[in-house]
Structure 1
């Protein structure tokens, strides 16, 4: 069973600028400073609530020489983040204080980070739990970002992508929107208007991840993917969670990830994100890995 969105992973050109936007401006906590496990020269940053709860996580791979992206045939589009009711005015003023342009449209506050990653803040009848509110920021808890609310997919294989979400992932469908089991997180599928090739670049979303409760459930999805003949890219233990990567029919990468053991595998709750963290199987290579990474300034 898919119970929620787990995380969304994108590309950034500069880790320092990325940190300034997500930790300083948005007030999210850097909960894991690690590396791409397939390419340990590439830094991987995870931001979320104070506890690094699945469903709050935005992650970024740093590629310094990354060019501009071209969104054409199939791509992941705007990510919506839930904020409490009556807080958009606060956020509009906060972005203005940082000289960041915003657009208010259809009750959503639209903004882009330094890489052109598109974000919409949407008001919800919710508020972040006190123990999950971040502590390093001046943003009061009753204004803080709560979780990922929605992601949009632009798909050239529109019907087939919808079938993947409804039949394989068993998401609940209402028109072109798909809901997780808790009926909180949304995935909207939009029909592509282009046949030209999409090119990855700054701000491109590499994949979206949905959360599953256990290794046994993940194994069930793996076996079903084999039966359904979906394109399986990787089935791997990341240390912090176990992951299954599948290409959906429009060629976009979908990850299924377990909710545990989580980021306290190698850091205490108070220490999350404070130093370069490596899962146990990479720890033996720490000296070489650290030598290849520039510090976040």
Structure 2
């Protein structure tokens, strides 16, 4: 039932710096400029491939006064992004041109770096390339070199076995050939769970991940996952219509927020593909508040 990763959402201090980094440096497309639906004074930015496909999406809530993050226990860690085989040198050189420090793994073709908010990222080579229809067009990153999508997310928790059981029993993911790593059947999309080894409470801040979202096909399947959560007595945070997708938020056993989101209707609900991200987009249920919302937001 789970089809893949849908998106990963984090916090940024500056929409302007965030937008420059993800569109100009990483070459992702700005696919949706909208707001946090619970707090419409907060801008919500979405980046992905040209079509804004689930599995490519990194999203950010702009919190102008947010402080530093202190990841201690029970937190989402690094996000790994897929690039085509042989492109690691290109990306190491490109990031260096923008004065971004990188660390190359000595054992595997993985390049580690951070965004302006200290959000931990890595690039990993895979036997794949971005499809022509998904390649972004605004960037000087050639299609053959472009980021393909999300490869892996990392969770650091106090009780890893309980989180792994949640991923197996509730989400239905499968154990990979590496311990404490699960994947979708026949897909190179992974979730790794390790021990945080600390007892101090984490503090969310700039660069912290708020939640990771997995994809289900339809509202019918989302309802089935809701009923399954009820039966399994999994804490339910929200079950809500977002306009671009419908979402179910639950808490895994160590308290991290996991979202399930539908594939459809997607970002062309209110903007055509060719102009995604060029306007302040609001789902239909917020249109009657557009003037108020626009007045709260600063240009970036």
Common topology (TM > 0.5): yes
How do 1:34-183 residues align onto structure 2 when only pairs under 5 Å count? 34-105=34-105, 106-174=108-176, 175-183=179-187
Partner of 2:33: 33
CA shift, 1:192, in A, is 1.7
Instruction: List structure 1 segments (4+ residues) > 6 angstroms apart after TM superposition.
Output: none
Residue pair 1:3, 1:182 contacting (<8 A) in 2 also? no
Residue pair 1:4, 1:182 contacting (<8 A) in 2 also? no
1:277 corresponds to which of 236, 256, 281:
281
Residue pair 1:4, 1:184 contacting (<8 A) in 2 also? no
Q: Match of 1:244, SS?
A: strand
Choose 95-104 or 40-49, whichever is displaced more: 95-104
Distance 1:182 1:12 in 2: 34
Residue pair 1:70, 1:201 contacting (<8 A) in 2 also? yes
Q: Tell whether 2:280 aligns with 1:268.
A: no
Distance 1:69 1:158 in 2: 22
Choose 105-114 or 261-270, whichever is displaced more: 105-114
Aligned residues: 296
- Name structure 1 gaps, 5 residues minimum: none
Give a deviation string over 1:93-132, Cα, whole Å, max 9, x none.
1111111111111321111000000000000000000010
Choose 248-257 or 172-181, whichever is displaced more: 172-181
Give a deviation string over 1:141-192, Cα, whole Å, max 9, x none.
0000001000000011211111100001000013211112342210000012
Partner of 1:252: 256
Distance 1:97 1:116 in 2: 18
Q: Tell whether 2:209 aligns with 1:185.
A: no
Partner of 1:236: 240
Distance 1:189 1:20 in 2: 31
- Name structure 2 gaps, 5 residues minimum: none
Q: Match of 1:225, SS?
A: helix
CA shift, 1:11, in A, is 0.1
Let me know the Cα RMSD of the aligned residues.
0.7
Distance 1:31 1:181 in 2: 28
Distance 1:163 1:102 in 2: 34
Partner of 2:16: 16
